[in-house]
Chains A and B, each alone.
Chain A
Amino acid sequence: MNVKTIAMAGTLESSDVSIVVEPSRNEGITLELNSLVEKQYGEQIKCVVLETLEQLKVKKAIVKIHDKGALDCVIIARLQTAVLRAAGVETFNWEEEK
C-alpha cells in the first residue's frame, strides 16, 4: 500500500493510541514512538507496528505513535485505519482480514 498523504487515527485518551502516518522520501519505515509504557512494552509495540505494516505491504512511511497504554489489538486497529486513510483507500474488504 502506498502512503500518499498524511493521515491520523486514534485519540490520546487512556488505553488508546494516536497514530500519524506520513509519506516518506526515504525507503523503509521511520518509527517515532512515544509511550507511557515505553520502558516495559516499547519493543513489543514496535514489533506489532512493523508486523502490521508488513501485512499491509507498506514499504515506505513515517509513523508517529503517541501511546497511552493501548493493547496490541487497539494498536493494530488504529494503525490499519491510519494507513488506509493515508493511502486513500475508501473501501475495505473486512472478510479478507484475519
Chain B
Amino acid sequence: MASRFWVTGGTGNWNDTSNWSATSGGASGASVPGSADTAAFDASSGAGTAMLDISPTIQTLTCTGFTGTLAFGTNTISLNSTGTIFTGATTMTVTGTPLIICTNSSATSRTITPGAVTEANSISFRITAGTGSLALTAGSFRDIDFTDGTNPTGFAGTVTNTAITIYGNFKASTGMTRTAGASAYTFAATSGTKTINTAGVTFDNPFTFNGVGGTWQLQAALTSGATRTCTLTNGTLDLASYTLTTGIFSSTNSNVRTLAFGTGKIVVTGTNGTSWTTATSTGLTMTGTRTVELTGNGLAGETRAINSGSTSAGGSAANAANFYIKAGVDTISLGTISRAIGTVDFTGFSGSTLVNTTPVIYGDLVLSTGMTVTAGTGVWTFAATTSQTITTNGKTLDFPVTFDGIGGTWTMQDALTLGSTRTLTLTNGTLRLKNGTTSTVGSFATSGTNPKFLTSTTFGSQATISATTGTFVVNYLTVQDSIATGGATWDALAITNVDAGNNTGWLFSTTPSIGNEITMRLRSFTQPRRF
C-alpha cells in the first residue's frame, strides 16, 4: 500500500502523475493512487482544482486541511478499505455530482467523517457492501445510499448511533440495522424533493426535518421508536401514502412548513408525556388525511398530551389533525387552552380525559364505551363549518358544550347527555339530535344573532330534549321535529325564532310557522298573458 498526496498548486487531473507525490508537499511524479493506495489532499495541496477525469478506486481518502476543489464531474471515487475510509474538510469545495462508493465487503468496521460541510459542498455516499459496523460521524452528507445501486440489498452491517445531517436522499438496504439511540438524523435540504426509503428497517432514533424550501417524501414506511421524536421545523414532509411511526411528533414554531399526509398517516406510540405538539401552528399547513393514531398503551396514572394548535397561535380547521386514540388506560389531555382539533375518536381507549380540557373540535367526536369522560368546567366547542357526527356511546358530557360553526351541522349518532349543571349553547350551525332518543341537558341556551337550528336526525321524526328545571329563553333559533320536556320551560317566544313544524313543548309566539307561509311568485312580464 502506498500513500499518495495531491501536490499540484493549480488545476490538474486525477489521472496524472504530475499531480501526485509520495509525501505531503513533496515532489510530484509519483504514481496515480490505485486500488491498493490511499489518497490525501491537505494544506500542502494548494487551493487548486483536482479534476476527476476517471473514476478511481483507492483504499481511503483524506481531505484534512485541503482548501481547494474536488471536481467530480460525473465520475465517482470508490473506497475499498476499512477503518476511517473518508475524512472530509469544511475548507474544501466540491463540484459536479460528488459520489463516493464504499465497497469493502468484510465485517471490519468503517468510519466516514465528512465534517460539518455545507449543503453545497456535501458529498453523497453509497455503501454497497459489508457486514461490519459503520460509523457516520457527526457531519453532513448529501445522499446516503446503503444499497448496491441496483438491488435493495447492499450494506448488511450496523450503522452506529451518531447524529448526522442529510442534504439529499436517504436509502436503506433491506439487510442493514441501525443502533438505537438518541442521536438524530436531520434532513436539511433547502430545495427540491428528497426521498426517504427505509426499506423496512427500523430507525430507532429521532428524525428532524429542517430545511427552508426543502421537501422530503417517503417512499416507504418510516418507523422509529416510542421514545423518539419526529420534528418538522421547516419545509415540507410528505408522507405520500405511507405510515410514519414515531414516539412523539413535534412541529411547534412559526416557520412556514407543511405536513402533507397524502393518503398516509402518522402513528404515535409514545406514552406518558406529550405525544403530539403543534401548539404553535402559525405557518403550518396540513394536507391529505391528517390521520394521527395514538397507539401507545398508556398506563393508569400516566398522561398523554395532544397539544394541537392553540387557536391563539395559528391553530385552525385548516391545520387541525384528526386523532384516533386506539389504546391505553391513561389520561388524555386535549389541552387546557383552546386547541384546534379535527376528529377525536377514542375507540379502543379505556382511560379518561383530562379534567377541564377545552378542545375546539372541527371534526367528528367518538367516545368509547370503556372510557371515562371527566367532569369539569372546561368548554368543549364544536366549531365545524361542515357536516360532522358525534357519538357518545352513552357517556355523559359533564362539562359545558358549545356548538359554534357557521354552516356546521352536527348529527348525533345517539342521545346527547350533559351533566345536570352543564349548559348546551348553540351559537351557530345546526344541531341534529338523534330521533327517537332523549337528549338531556342541564340548561339550554342560544348565543348571538346568527340563525341556528335544532332539528332531529330524521325529518318528520321527533327527537326529545329534556331538562329538569329552568327557563331557557332562546333567540334566532329554528326548531323542527323536537319535543322539549323534562320540567324546564322552553321559551321560544321571541319573534326571531321559527317554529318549523312538528314541535312539542316549545313556547312559540303566534307568528306564522313555516308551514303556514304563503308561497309568493312574481308574475312573469316576459311571457304573454292569457286572458
Specify whether A and B are partners: no
**A residues at B contact (CB < 8 Å):** none
**B residues at A contact (CB < 8 Å):** none
